[in-house]
Amino acid sequence: MNTRGLSLDTIPPLLIPLRFFLTAPLFGICAALLIFYQGSDIWLSRWSFSSLALTHLVTLGFMLMVMIGGLYQFIPVMVGQLIPAGQYLAPVIHSLLVIGTFSLAAAFLSHFIFLYVLALISLALSLSLFAFSLIPLLIAQLNKHLLVYLLRILLVVLAITIAFGLYMLFSYSFPDSLINYRLYTDIHALWGLLGWTVLLIMAVSSQVIPMFYVTPEFSKNSLKLLSMAIVLTLIMLSFSLLLIKDKLFSGIFFELLLSIELLVFSLYSLWLIEHRKRKLADVTISFFRIAHFSLLVVIILWWFYAQVISAEEELLKTQMEFILAISLVYGLALSAIIGLLQKIVPFLIFLHLQRLSLKHPGTISLVPNMKKIISTKNSKIQFLFHCLSLFLLIFSVFFPQWVWLAAILMMINFIWLWKNLLQGIFLYQKNRKQILNYNYSYET
């Protein structure tokens, strides 16, 4: 690539990704408050409205929120093009996502039809606007970028997940329409929890792990093949759920295939992490280890759930469903995302201060080291809170009398994350002022 005449635009304004990153922990805190408020009832059934509210507070409020903020930041760095109109669209997308997620959780808890309608409109608008703003990038000739390839697949999977979700939300909003909620919920959960979560972590891992930990690069062809295989298997599994009444054979075959695909991804990622070129002590890599270890646990438990537990063992079946969901969402996705935030937010602050410092000669010493923006000690404490809360959430499924403690630890985990991110922003503001003032006194 020759850069002559090329106008690179790789650095979006800091506020665009940060508004998403700073909002996400607040939804985590709300989710923890809901668990605390509901107590042991939260694990009674995955069909209960409180557990639906909890799932969506975490998946939409935390995971999707960080994903959108992360894409606003990562796409320009990787492909050299900003997501168009970010300055105007990001605040709208963000506000609608906040309104949509809160109203959806509130609708599940209160059953007010108005809230379902509000959630339907806000979420549909927010996600359509974001998808619309990605169109130029998705149709551009950027095939050499693995991120763009994975992103295309990820957005298709997300669109299918959301389409099923909005369809059910539409039915909640207009109660006269009769649909098979359980079947559609299963398919929605399959695409969301397995498809979207795993492919999101795949896209994140493929960029972040080699960049921050100097591991060997992920093989582009392997990840392209693997992501496509996961989507095809999900399609076949959905068809077997929707169309084939006796799904015994086809179901087991596609479940086995999906397990193998997830196993390959998990072992491959762990292998790369262990083969990094410079084994520097860095606690944030432990978040990625926990994430991929959780995926291994999910695969093992899934087979135990599907093959060993009989339909009569209803309590154990329900407990396994919650443990699978906790391991996938809190263990796999949140571990990787919290680990990512410990890296990406200091990196962004560093990048913007460095840019400012280049324009103000002599101020380079005012650009802090990344490890000072979120200290290693604070990241270690974050890791401790995260692991403890993950363990206690799983423990509380079997011993619901301890669910209050799990909720408190989960709340502390998100409060600590929020505090660390805010501290980074305050440091940015302070150093930014110092750089600007330094320049002023130097010039006069």
Partner 1 sequence: MKVTANRLDNTAKELLIDVSEYEAPRPFEEVVKLVSQLKSGEYIRMLHRKEPLPLIQMLQENGYECRMFPGQQVEWEIIIWNSQDISVQEFCLMNFSNSPAK
Instruction: State the residues that interact with partner 1 by CB under 8 A.
Output: 1-4, 8-11, 76-78, 80, 210-214, 217, 277-278, 280, 282, 347, 350-351, 354-355, 358-359, 361, 364, 370
Q: How far is the CB of 362 from partner 1 (least distance, A)?
A: 9
Half-sphere exposure of 265 (CA within 13 A, CB side): 34
Q: How far is the CB of 215 from partner 1 (least distance, A)?
A: 10
Residue with smaller CB distance to partner 1, 38 or 73? 73
CA distances from 41 to 38, 50, 436 (A): 6, 9, 54
Q: How far is the CB of 399 from partner 1 (least distance, A)?
A: 41
Residue with smaller CB distance to partner 1, 331 or 346? 346
Q: How far is the CB of 273 from partner 1 (least distance, A)?
A: 13
Q: How far is the CB of 392 from partner 1 (least distance, A)?
A: 32
Contact (CB, 8 A) for 165 and 59: no
Q: How far is the CB of 343 from partner 1 (least distance, A)?
A: 8
Q: What is the CA radius of gyration of the chain?
A: 22
Q: Could you give the CA distance from residue 85 to residue 102 in angstroms, rounded to a whole number?
A: 26
In 140-283, where does DSSP find H-type helix?
A: 146-173, 181-189, 197-213, 220-242, 248-274
Question: Rounded to 5 degrees, what angle do the CA atoms 283, 214, 21 make?
Answer: 55
Contact (CB, 8 A) for 188 and 170: no
Chain CA centroid to CA 170, Å: 25
Q: How far is the CB of 192 from partner 1 (least distance, A)?
A: 31
- Of all residues in the chain, what percent are helix, strand and coil, respectively (each to 5)? 85, 0, 15
Contact (CB, 8 A) for 425 and 436: no
Residue with smaller CB distance to partner 1, 85 or 358? 358
Q: How far is the CB of 277 from partner 1 (least distance, A)?
A: 5
Contact (CB, 8 A) for 131 and 159: yes
Residue with smaller CB distance to partner 1, 280 or 311? 280
Q: 235 Cβ partners below 8 Å, 6+ apart?
A: none
Q: Per-residue DSSP letters for 74-108?
A: HHHHHHS-PPTTHHHHHHHHHHHHHHHHHHHHHHH
Residue with smaller CB distance to partner 1, 217 or 314? 217
Q: How far is the CB of 426 from partner 1 (least distance, A)?
A: 20
Residue with smaller CB distance to partner 1, 328 or 425? 425
Residue with smaller CB distance to partner 1, 9 or 176? 9
Residue with smaller CB distance to partner 1, 340 or 411? 340
CA distances from 228 to 152, 299, 309, 316, 372 (A): 11, 19, 31, 33, 40
Residue with smaller CB distance to partner 1, 231 or 366? 366
Q: Could you give the CA distance from residue 32 to residue 165 in angstroms, rounded to a whole number?
A: 23
Q: Could you give the CA distance from residue 46 to residue 441 in angstroms, rounded to a whole number?
A: 62
> Residue 104's closest CA among 88, 89, 126?
126
Q: Could you give the CA distance from residue 356 to residue 331 in angstroms, rounded to a whole number?
A: 38
Q: How far is the CB of 73 from partner 1 (least distance, A)?
A: 10
Residue with smaller CB distance to partner 1, 43 or 350? 350
Residue with smaller CB distance to partner 1, 77 or 257? 77
Q: How far is the CB of 354 from partner 1 (least distance, A)?
A: 6
